[in-house]
Amino acid sequence: MIEFEAFTDAQLERFRHYQDVSFAVLEEVRAQIEPGATERDATRWAMKAFRREGADRYFHLPVALFGERTALPEPWDTASFFPTDRVLEAGEPVLLDASPIFEGFVVDTSMCFNSEPSAAHDGAMADDLTYRDSILDAVRAGATFREIALTVDADMSARGDRNCHGLHPEAVLGHRAVLLDDLDELPPADPNGFDATVLGWFITGIGAAIEHSSPSPTWNDRPTSDHEPAPGLWAVEPHIGRGDIGVKWEELLVIEATDAYWLSDDVPHLR
From CA 137, how far away is CA 37, in angstroms rounded?
A: 40
Question: Is 80 exceeded by the pLDDT of residue 7?
Answer: yes
The Cα–Cα gap between 84 and 82 comes to 7
Asked if the structure places residue 117 within a domain, the reply is yes
Contact 179, 7 (CB under 8 A): yes
270 occurs within a structural domain: no
122: domain CATH number is 3.90.230.10
Average pLDDT value for residue range 210-233 = 93
Query: pTM for the complete prediction?
Result: 0.96
> What pLDDT does 190 receive?
76
CA angle 63, 64, 66 (to 5 degrees): 150
**The pLDDT of residue 193:** 73
Domain that holds residue 61: 2-265
3-state DSSP of 180-236: ECCHHHCCCCCCCCCCHHHHHHHHHHHHHHHHHCCCCCEECCCHHHCCCCCCEEEEE
In eight-state DSSP terms, residue 109 is E
Indicate if the pLDDT at residue 230 is higher than 90.
Answer: yes
Short-list 172, 191, 150, 161, CA closest to 70: 161
What mean pLDDT, rounded, does the chain reach? 96
- 15 phi and psi angles, rounded to 5 deg: -55, -45
Is 73 inside a domain boundary?
A: yes
* CB atoms inside a 10 Å sphere around CB 242: 23
Stretch 179-199: mean pLDDT: 84
- First-to-last C-alpha distance (Å) of the chain: 36
Q: What SS3 class is residue 128?
A: helix
Q: Is pLDDT above 80 for 191?
A: no
Q: What is the SS3 assignment for 51-68?
A: HHHCCCEEEEEEEEEEHH
Among the residue ranges 5-19, 86-100, 166-180, 204-218, the one predicted with the least confidence is 204-218
Looking at the 3D structure of the chain, how many domains does it have? 1
Span 21-73, pLDDT tens digits:
999 999 999 999 999 999 999 999 999 999 999 998 999 999 999 999 999 99
CB 67 within 8 A of CB 244: yes
Give, to the nearest 10 degrees, the angle between helix 119-141 and helix 145-158: 150
